[in-house]
Structure 1
Amino acid sequence: MISDDPRDADALARLRELIRIPTVSPLATGIGENTEASADWSPFDAFAAALERLYPAIHRVLSREVVAGHTLLYRWVGQEPGAAAVLMAHYDVVPATDEGWTHPPFAAEVSGEGADRVLWGRGTLDNKGSATTILEAAESAAAAGFTPRHDVYLLFGHDEETAGTGAEAVVALLRERGVTVGFVLDEGGAVVEKLFPTVDVPIAVVGVSEKGTTSFTLTVEQQGGHASTPPRLTATARLARAIVRVTDRPFRARLNAVTERMIRTVGAHGRGPLKFVFTRANLFRPLLVAVFARMSDETAAIVRTTVAVTQLSAGLAANALAERAQAVLNVRIAIGSTVEQTRRQLERAIADPLVRVEILSANDPAPVSRMDGPEWNLLAESITAAYPTAVVTPYVQTSATDSRQFSRVSRTVYRFSPFEMSAEERGTLHAKNERMHVQTFFTGIRFYEGLIARL
């Protein structure tokens, strides 16, 4: 369906302008080293200035303050006291160069015609697309004189892709002010298809928790020397062996309560014998665990703690033995486990006292939010209004979001990006050729318009 709303062309122009501002997250240049303090923040200042110009009604009706340097927090005062809602997204993006992209990452080019139009650029899906849908819906409501029942906060984080200090500071600020937080919605799941075999209807997956994101370092320190006379096991070889051992001993796959509910909910729309199995997940638990662990990388990540080696460091010269070799493991901890349990398992898998396992940064899995009640129903109704054929289901988010900071103050924290995303499009997150269909951006605006009207 092609949008015929005259406002949509202007909304697309505004999103394209915001994507062209390269608000690239400050990244670590070495293991354990962060360059945030020396970063160029001028694109972030330009983004904040652009919002003032592009969304005048928001800046007339809502109050805005800057938290932790560059995180933007807007307060929309409600008609009466009550738990505040928080609609959040982040506007920082991961780096990208032109190399390998069909269209330059910060050019915000549109290709195709009609319903096939696609917007290319870093941040379309992660996460300026979501930020802009919130802004567009709030701008329309504010301009029309709408006032929510209770306070609504709009939160746009500046460092979600690195440390998440902006969202953390906002939570601390709201607690200090005595603000009771209720409904929270951040990026996360999306409307997807072909998630399960024999299930043909689109599925709207809503994150009710997220896996813990923790980085460990593996460090080997031993005598160096000339590379012409190496010992049997060099520091780099010992580190490589440790990495292989970790890779060859994956964490045990398990079916948690959230995933079991997702299987039952989605499986009810399947066909044949698989429908019978899916809708009786509690009876076929061992079979389903085995299937999910092998079906795809996405399903495997749902049922177990995952480990990815993301950084390696060793040696200063080509002809000298490294005296220190180090690897960073990015670990996504499944709900039901902890950082400390994960560390102990890594040590057992490596089984080498000369390989030191240390925590670089740590987050346990987020508490599971309510999967029923007024807040869940509010979200489910808003999704159904925007995507009438989609089945709404909870799931455990495998990636980290700023919303985890709010899990300490609310039991109704949800993660959902209101866009249809194919498997190929999801694969462009943090990768080349990030893009989104223009029409789903328009539908995302309708989603937030409906959600805000229900607040």
Structure 2
Amino acid sequence: MKKLFGMLLLLIIILAAILGIRSETVFKDTQLQVQQLEHNLPLDTDAAINRFAKGIQFQTISHDDPEKFNAQPFIDFRQHIKLSYPLVHQIAQQKTFGEHSLLYYFPGTDKSLKPALLMGHMDVVPVDEATLDKWQQPPFSGVVENGTIWGRGTIDDKVTVFALLESMELLLQQNKPFKRGIYLAFGHDEETGGTRGAVKIAEYLQQQGVEFEFVLDEGGAITEGIMPGIEQPVALVGVAEKGFVNLRLTVNSAGGHSSQPPEHTALGILSDAIVKVENAQFTPDLTFSKMTFDAVATYAPLSSRLSMANLWLLEPVVSNVMVKSPSSAASIRTTIAATMAKGSSKSNILPSQASAVINFRILPGDSIESVKQHVISAIDDERVMISDFMSINPSEVSPTDSFGFKLIEKHIRQLDNDVLVAPYLVIGGTDSRYYTGLSKNIYRFMMVRLNPESLTRFHGINEQLPVEDYLNAIRFFHAMLQETAGVELSENSNG
């Protein structure tokens, strides 16, 4: 027995040594080594801030109910940017889609170079009237106070629209030719699916035979205090995004008076089906979590490196920990969310039809069809009819060694080389999902800084943006546009 115990102890020591050695040797520092630069742009910062602040005042709201759509703020918004950025509107080839979405094209002289597309969206989500008294500044005031710009859209996503326009206006002032063509696309209905804006723009570009070197849309950001154990800020650049599908479950029955119910009503059968689906969670996949962690691993504490370096043994443990938190669970599996249900119209009437909607956010590797089959198998009840609506498959995964990704990484780090850059999976949806057929290199990043507190302001109360974040967004996009277009500027114009 002592010999067996000794052998077991030896095996444990050897295993512990292997785990420890791997945690110190598996990961390499892959951060791009660049020198931090001063970006001294010839920019009237007060005027730029005022243009942005005024843009927040236009209530370009996207409502789920199309009857509530108000076109006038979009018309006024377009007039504002036309007056604010005259060179952009003089030089660009322009088209409008769905009456309000905008596409600008700045041709390049070298036709062998594929153009690039940079995107943002003009629309914002509504403000819940019940929360108005909780806003420190009115949500569409565009107030600039104590170094902060207040209002709906300051983060999501007018910051990108205005930073791109400011950057392009500055670049055009140099009167230098573009070698590579540049497209700017600004949707007006991203918050309700982009079907009248981004979809139509993408269809038009596909008809024109356009293929992009890369596409850059919203999605990631510079995060602070989001990744456990990582003290430095981490810029998360989306290389893929989840798809989604709504499945409607329907059960029909004879109905009748509630005084003579069957053993299981249509609503009872439906409820059982929902529980079966919720109990049949999808298998976790750590592919994207590992991709993100690998990029910053050498800056992580040993406890994190130990588990991630030894997924060959510890993957079930890591997965079990991650699925306990809704935010981390969403990054490693297709999610299940029962969101809507309907029975009869009166408490004493048996429902002749009961229905419910379950929303799935689909991890790359799964598909609309595989999700549907998963649900059919989980319910295993012919009385429950299943149909899908409003769906799109997850995106392809874009490479991290492309011109576009390296350019994004370079200009993030040149602004602040304390910021680490890592690829990640966007768990929400962006307009870029419609451009899959136009480029293999689609990335999602906006130059703002987010911490656990500011993350709650997305679609929430007190949306705001530090002035310095906005100016950094202009610096970032100016550098991106300059290098992408191959424009050589004079020394005093780009620091």
Check whether TM > 0.5. Answer: yes
Aligned to 1:109: 143
Query: How has the CA–CA distance of structure 1 residues 344 and 384 changed in structure 2, closer, same or farther, with 3 Å as cutoff?
Result: same
From 355, 377, 386, give the equivalent of 1:326.
Answer: 355
Q: Which amino acid aligns with 1:263?
A: F
Identify the residue that residue 493 of structure 2 maps to in structure 1: none
Bigger mean CA deviation after superposition, 278-287 or 360-369: 278-287
Give 1:16's aligned residue: 53
Q: 1:193 to 1:356 in 2, by over 3 A?
A: same
Task: Give the match for residue 32 of structure 1.
Answer: none
Deviation at 1:107, TM superposition (A): 2.4
CA deviations on 1:321-364 (whole Å, 9 max, x unpaired) are: 33333222221101111111111112233333222221112211
* Residue 172 (structure 2) aligns with: 142
* C-alpha displacement of 1:283: 5.8
Partner of 1:237 in structure 2?
Answer: 268
Which amino acid is the alignment partner of residue 139 of structure 2?
P
- 1:249: Cα distance to partner? 2.9
Question: Does 2:259 correspond to 1:222?
Answer: no
Structure 2 residue aligned with 1:31: none
Task: Please list the CA deviations of residues 178-198 of structure 1 after superposition, one character each: whole Å capped at 9, or x if unmatched.
Answer: 222111000001111233322
Q: 1:164 aligns with which of 194, 209, 213?
A: 194
Separation in structure 2 between the aligned mates of residue 6 and residue 184 of structure 1, nearest angstrom: 26
Question: Does residue 372 in structure 1 map to residue 401 in structure 2?
Answer: yes
Range moving further from structure 2, 84-93 or 195-204: 195-204
1:303 is paired with a residue of what secondary structure? coil
- Which string of whole-angstrom CA distances, capped at 9 and with x for unpartnered residues, describes residues 241-281 of structure 1? 3333323332111112x432211112221122323433455
Distance (Å, rounded) in 2 between the aligned partners of 1:221 and 1:50: 54
Q: Residues 195-243 of structure 1: CA distance to partner in whole angstroms, max 9, x if unpaired?
A: 3322111111111111112222122222333344444433333333333
TM-score normalized by the length of structure 1: 0.90
After superposition, the Cα gap between the structure-2 partners of 1:324 and 1:438, relative to the gap in structure 1 and judged at 3 Å, is farther
- Which entry has the higher C-alpha Rg, 1 or 2? 2
> Which is further off, 247-256 or 300-309?
247-256
The C-alpha deviation readout for 1:19-68, integer Å capped at 9, x for no partner, is 2212222414xxxxxx36x7332222222222111211211221211023
Call closer, same or farther: CA 1:311–1:129 in 2, change over 3 Å. Answer: farther
- Residue 88 of structure 1 contacts residue 185 of structure 1 at CA under 8 Å; is this kept in 2? yes
Q: Are the equivalent residues in 1 in contact too, given 2:121–2:161 (CA < 8 A)? A: yes
Give yes or no for contact 2:221–2:445 (8 Å, CA) kept in 1.
Answer: yes
1:412–1:285 Cα change, 3 Å: same
Task: State the 1:4 CA deviation.
Answer: 11
**In 1, are the aligned partners of 2:224 and 2:451 still within 8 Å (CA)?**
yes
Instruction: Report the Cα offset of residue 316 of structure 1.
Output: 2.8
| Aligned counterparts of 1:319 and 1:55: Cα–Cα separation in 2 | 63
Per-residue deviation at 1:146? Answer: 4.1
**How far apart, CA to CA, are the structure 2 residues paired with 1:364 and 1:315?**
33
Q: CA deviation at 1:448?
A: 0.6
Q: Is the 8 A contact 1:77 1:148 kept in 2?
A: yes
Q: Is the 8 A contact 2:337 2:358 kept in 1?
A: yes
Show CA shifts across 1:397-431 (max 9, x none).
Answer: 11111111111121111000111011222223233
CA RMSD of aligned residues (A): 2.4
Summarize the Cα distance change of 1:357–1:403 in structure 2 as closer, same or farther, 3 Å threshold.
Answer: same
Aligned to 2:230: 199
Matches within 5 A, 1:266-345: 266-279=296-309, 281=311, 284-294=314-324, 296-345=325-374
What runs of 5+ residues in structure 1 fail to find an aligned partner?
A: 29-34
- 1:387 corresponds in structure 2 to 416
Cα 1:175–1:5, aligned 2, differ >3 Å: closer, same or farther?
closer
Distance 1:298 1:342 in 2: 20
CA distance in 1, matches of 2:348, 2:52: 52
| Matches of 2:109 and 2:206, distance apart in 1 | 21
Question: Aligned to 1:181, what secondary structure does the other structure show?
Answer: coil
Q: Map of 1:413-452 to 2, 5 A cutoff? A: 413-452=442-481
Structure 2 CA distance for aligned equivalents of residues 387 and 323 of structure 1: 62
Aligned: 1:90 with 2:121? yes
Residues 98, 105 of structure 1: 8 Å contact kept: no
Separation in structure 2 between the aligned mates of residue 321 and residue 444 of structure 1, nearest angstrom? 58
Question: Which among 152, 165, 187 is matched to residue 122 of structure 1?
Answer: 152
- Secondary structure of the structure 2 residue equivalent to 1:161: helix
Which residue is equivalent to 2:84?
54
The answer on whether the counterparts of 2:242 and 2:393 sit within 8 Å (CA) in structure 1 is yes
Q: Aligned partners of 1:17 and 1:27: how far apart in 2?
A: 25
- Structure 2 residue 72 is matched with structure 1 residue 42: yes
In structure 2, the CA distance between the partners of 1:216 and 1:190, relative to structure 1 (3 Å rule), is same
In structure 2, C-alpha distance between the alignment counterparts of 1:433 and 1:325, rounded to whole Å: 39
Provide Cα deviations, 1:286-324, integer angstroms capped at 9, x if missing partner.
333233223x32221110001223333343334433333
The 1:155–1:148 alpha-carbon spacing in structure 2 relative to 1, beyond 3 Å, is same
User: Taking every aligned residue pair, what percent have the same amino acid on both sides?
Assistant: 32
